[in-house]
Chains A and B, each alone.
Chain A
Amino acid sequence: MRGELPGLVRRASELTTEVAGLGADRVLPVLPELRELFAGQGLRRGSTVAVRPVPGVSGSTSLLLCLLAAASQGGSWCAVVGLPQLGLVAAAEMGVSLERLALVPYPGPQWTGVVATLLDGFDIVVVAAAGPVAASVRAQLAARARQRGSVLMPFVANPWEGADVSLSPEKSVWHGLGWGRGRLRSRELTVCARGRGSAERPRRSTFWLPGPPVPPPEAPQRIRLSVVR
């Protein structure tokens, strides 16, 4: 009996969301490639997950869409505030369900009120604010998200102090395009996630979007005919 116990008893923190069961509704799913970036294997409800576009490295918008994809497919409602240039065809291809995606492209000066209202009803609210955001506003929105159990996802170039996790693309390599031929087919994106406190150590993940490159099908081998006497 005693010998079996160490195998059965585990620390509560080691329980993954699937095992814990009760905790599953506290975490929104993410794509399998992105799971290792998050301590809770997904987007914890009530948290703030910042996506930071880095000048000189492309791929931040795709990263954002990829974060929304799994939750959106799982039936969550997402809202995007202040991002009129978002490519919605790309969003649909990435797996975001467009009928559950609300967009407020031009929130105007009262954007904080809009975001606070949307946090009441949506599971994920992406905020792309143009200028720097005051610390008090950040704290207010984070508190609202925590209270309502939604995920606040700032998509701003300036660092968002107080974010639980901050993701940014580190390297993006496109495949499929040659010199005068081919087309863009897939990209290899390296993402770096930095947490707060004990999770300060950056975690990295490299994955393919939309999928690993498929080698072109080889021409079937020609059957050689030989003369048989």
Chain B
Amino acid sequence: MLVWCPDWPVVAAEIVDGIPAGGPVAVMHANKVVASSSAARAQGVRRGLRKRDAQSRCSRLIVVEHDPGRDMRAYEPVVAAVEQLAAGVAVLRPGVCAFAARGPARYFGGEAAAAEKLVDQVANECGVEAQIGVADGAFAALLAARAGKLIGEEETAEFLAGLSVSTLERPELADLLWRLGVRTLGDFAALPPGDVLARFGLDAALAQRLAAGRDDRPLAVRQPPPDLDVQERFAEPVERVDMAAFAARALAERLHEKLTGYGLVCTRLAIVAITADGQELERVWRHDGVLTAQAIADRTRWQLEGWLTSRKLACGIIALQLIPEGVLAQVGLQPGLWGEAGAERDRAHRAMHRVQGMLGPESVVTAVLGGGRDPLLQATMVAWGDERKPALAQGPWPGRLPPPSPAVVAQQEQPVEVISEAGEQVRVDARLALNADPGFVVMGRSKVEIVAWSGPWPVDERWWVVEQRPHRLVRLQVLLANGQALLLILSGGEWSIPAEFD
């Protein structure tokens, strides 16, 4: 028995990327159409068509790049839904899965009843349309599913005999057979097998067996992934740190036991807490080495401490869940041969973990370089153990200051005044012209002469975000008489020092 979801790449694009599958959609790979929606097919968009031809046939066509990973990710829930009713499900490709029909057919009282049940199940669980086909062998079952037929035992060869040779999905062979006058699978199956093997080769001999309905390849049954999450629900909401630590310890040991039972180790751990008012907090901890039971317990405790003491929570935690996100087979984790993964790194990691234990997980940070124009935003601070991901993507950032970058970046911008030789305030007009050359920087009571300057360099960003304050400023580099080199910014009519080239 085979479950076929028609136009799966299109449906997957709708599930993952939210592209409406009801409209004309075509999934492209290497400039050729791989799959199209029914609306697109009605306009004449066929498989194998070039992008330009497809668009000329249907001008409103939405083109999506083919992504097998996306198809498989979206298909996973469908397989899980099928597995609830049938055992031993084999995924043939994203969109097609098969299993032995005998069990479900007997349990639900007939193949037709089982097929109906499965279609309902897939529709209810995933909201996806599916068709069922039953035949001997996966090849015939897929053709039966396309035709929407349930082929009984011993009738497969008869069903296949009437179909065209093009259904073999071997275009070259089908073309050759067509020109030789062999038009249907029945004709092809009737040829002497020895001659087919001698004339067309091994692949054609296999195709002939399929055409004759003798598909005796067994299904490669999928092993359902083990459920590794551990969860604990508390009768009383946990509000105190020591209670949370105790719960974390027990949960961590359970998780570790479970992982070692499967011979797995965890490199990334997600901690999810649900509070009494339904708020869900999640945080992922990353670890380069193996997370031991102690390490899992520590991270859970730190995280709960952080949540409980930062007063982010209005009420206590009622449920706690640990999800191992990155798992490897125990033997798969190989320490590096040189440098990086050595004794030095382990020592440094231990020291940082101890400091995190003293001051909290957010206290030890490492920096990741990202994009941005502001020298403070270019380096993202990431708590030690978290994923090193910059806040703003690298890329061309026009208007970014060229190196050397300032070695001191102020946490709070210090307001100053910039005046000209004549003593008037220096301002910038809409055409980015200064009303006078800057002469002095006034910081509090001291007034320092400017000996060299350059600018103004404008930044005008984030005006497209409604919620945030737009970021419009001009920058000057100045060199003072005392040897200090500063970056000055003028924003909203106020001068300040965001960074110093110390």
Contact = CB atoms under 8 A, between A and B. Distances in A.
Interface of A: 56-62, 65, 75-77, 79, 84-93, 98-108, 110, 113-114, 117-118, 120-123, 171-174, 177-187, 209-210
A190 to B, nearest CB: 11
Interface residues of B, number: 51
A122 B454 CA distance: 41
Given A102-B352, A106-B363, 20 more contacts: A58-B483, A77-B348, A84-B411, A86-B408, A87-B409, A91-B407, A92-B367, A93-B405, A98-B366, A98-B368, A103-B381, A107-B363, A108-B359, A113-B358, A117-B354, A121-B347, A174-B483, A177-B454, A179-B437, A209-B404
A102 B348 contact: yes
A102 B384 contact: yes
Contacts of A122: 347-348, 351
B375 A58 contact: no
A180 B352 contact: no
B369 A98 contact: yes
Interface of B: 339-340, 344-345, 347-352, 354-355, 358-359, 363-369, 375, 378-379, 381, 384, 388, 402-411, 437, 452-454, 477, 479, 482-485, 499-502
Contacts of B367: 88, 91-92, 98, 101, 103
A62 B502 contact: yes
Nearest to B366: A102
A129 B408 CA distance: 16
Given A58-B502, A186-B404, A117 B355 contact: yes
A104 B403 contact: no
Contacts of B358: 110, 113-114, 117
A120 B375 contact: no
26 contacts: A56-B483, A59-B502, A75-B344, A77-B344, A86-B408, A86-B409, A88-B369, A89-B369, A89-B378, A89-B406, A99-B388, A101-B367, A102-B384, A103-B364, A104-B363, A105-B365, A106-B363, A110-B358, A121-B349, A172-B483, A174-B479, A174-B483, A174-B501, A177-B485, A180-B437, A210-B404
A180 B454 CA distance: 4
Contact of A117 (B344, B351, B378): B351
B454 A173 contact: no
B405 A87 contact: yes
A178 B298 CA distance: 55
A62 B363 CA distance: 24
B375 A180 contact: no
A186 B485 CA distance: 11
A109 to B, nearest CB: 11
Nearest to A120: B351
B122 to A, nearest CB: 46
Given A58-B501, A181-B454, A85 B351 contact: no
- Of the candidates A60, A61, A65, A90, the one having the most CB atoms from chain B within 10 angstroms of its own CB is A90
A104 B407 contact: no
Nearest to B350: A121
B349 A65 contact: no
Contacts of B340: 75
Contact of B502 (A60, A75, A99, A173): A60
A75 B339 contact: yes
Contact of B500 (A58, A89, A103): A58
